[in-house]
């Protein structure tokens, strides 16, 4: 069973603060990791992905990956009320997967208050 765990929240931060979203996964052989944002009533949209240990930055977003600890995180700098959404962590499992499916966490609900 390939599990992806996220704190469901809600995580509440003030505008301008750094929001930190965390995700752990059970399959040590997992290869790549994706962060999606889902606004209420909408479908998920891709924010960024990471597959090498370390940090990857894209604008206000930074993904951090630590494969030894089986941990991936998403930092949102200068949080804005428009960042209020549910953030989904998704994992591509090891090379044995032939269907190409991602395994999703249940999501963390983020609220940024003005």
Partner 1 sequence: GAVVSQHPSRVICKSGTSVKIECRSLDFQATTMFWYRQFPKQSLMLMATSNEGSKATYEQGVEKDKFLINHASLTLSTLTVTSAHPEDSSFYICSARRGTGSNQPQHFGDGTRLSIL
Return residues touching partner 1 (CB under 8 A). 31-32, 34, 36, 41-46, 49, 51, 88, 90, 92, 95, 99-102, 104-107
- Compare residues 71 and 104 and give the one whose CB is closer to partner 1: 104
Q: Which DSSP string do the residues of 26-89 spell out, in sequence order? A: S-TT--EEEEEEE-TTS--EEEEEE-SSEEEEETTEEEEEETTTTEEEEEESS--GGG-EEEEE
Least distance (Å) between residue 114 CB and partner 1: 24
- Compare residues 25 and 92 and give the one whose CB is closer to partner 1: 92
- Compare residues 77 and 101 and give the one whose CB is closer to partner 1: 101
CB of 20 closer than 8 Å to CB of 78: no
């Amino acid at each position: 069973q390939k599990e992806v765990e996220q704190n469901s929240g809600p995580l509440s931060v003030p505008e301008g603060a750094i929001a930190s979203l965390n995700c752990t996964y059970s399959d040590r052989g997992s290869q790549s990791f994706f962060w999606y944002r889902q606004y209420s009533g909408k479908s998920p949209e891709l924010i960024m992905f990471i597959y090498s240990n370390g940090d990857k930055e894209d604008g206000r977003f930074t993904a951090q990956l630590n494969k030894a600890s089986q941990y991936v995180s998403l930092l949102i700098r200068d949080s804005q009320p428009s960042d209020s959404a549910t953030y989904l962590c998704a994992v591509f499992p090891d090379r044995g997967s032939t269907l190409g499916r991602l395994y999703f966490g249940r999501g963390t609900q983020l609220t940024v208050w003005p």
